[in-house]
Structure 1
Amino acid sequence: MKQKIVIQVEMTCDKCRSKAMSLVAATGGVDSVALAGDAKDQVVVVGDGVDSVKLTSALRKKVGPSQLLQVADAGKKKEEEKKPVITATAAVVPSYYQYYQQPANVVYEYPATGYPYGYGYQSRPDNTCTIM
């Protein structure tokens, strides 16, 4: 079943548009890619077996802020297009929340006991220097 996916991507220049279109075209299962919208900020993808969520997150990583606007069946007739289409909208998350990670907890373990100077380093008892 072919799907028509519409993704809004923040693209300010021709280089960004080219990058977005090449990224989408390289995805498996994509049949056609087109730009839509007044500001050419929407990417229309038609394909079979395309994961829309993974495609949107890849565009976020490589191009810029993107939002999934619509996922619909591409094999519709004109009469069926007049019916309302179910659209999926994603919540916009500010970019500073996406990249924040919790610091890792580090536990320091002391060396095994039984060695006089730590990690098995044995020196002569009359020598007080542990470096040499």
Structure 2
Amino acid sequence: MKQKMVVKVTMSDEKSRSKALKVVVGFSGVESASLKGDDKSQIEVTGDGVDAVQLTSRLRKSVGHAELVSVSAVDGEKKEENKPPAAYVWPYNQPLYVYQELPYAHQQDPCSIM
């Protein structure tokens, strides 16, 4: 089940924010993480099967005081109407040139040295 959670972390400078984001992104099941709030003290985490309590306790151990603000489910299926068709991409396993055998017979040696 995909879920979205917000964790408030005490972060004083850019170094602690960077460290907190590294800890969150390195956690199992996390798909995305972003800073939010006026003072960028909240981390919004989206993931599948993420344990919010373990994530909060790991942030407490590595960064500082962390508090779980909210956990909510995310709608996995979004309906997109009038989506334009995808552009055609050339397959990688196909050659970019066409090799064609010429029908004439080799009667003379084209090399002038021999």
- TM-score tier by shorter-chain length is 0.5 to 0.7
SS state at 1:7 partner: strand
1:47-98 superposed Cα distances (whole Å, 9 cap, x missing partner): 0000000000000010000100000012179xxxxxxxxxxxxxxxxxxxxx
Unaligned runs of 5+ in 1: 78-132
Give yes or no for the alignment of 1:63 onto 2:75: no
SS state at 2:71 partner: strand
- When normalised by structure 2's length, the TM-score is 0.65
Q: How many residues align?
A: 78
- Higher relative CO (Cα under 8 Å, sequence separation at least 6) belongs to 2
Q: Give 2:47's aligned residue.
A: 47
Q: Is the 8 A contact 2:16 2:63 kept in 1?
A: yes
- When normalised by structure 1's length, the TM-score is 0.57
Q: How does 1:28-107 map to 2 (within 5 A)?
A: 28-75=28-75
Runs of 4+ in 1 over 2 A off after TM superposition: none
Aligned-residue sequence identity (percent) comes to 49
SS state at 2:64 partner: coil
Q: Is the 8 A contact 2:20 2:63 kept in 1?
A: yes
Unaligned runs of 5+ in 2: 78-114
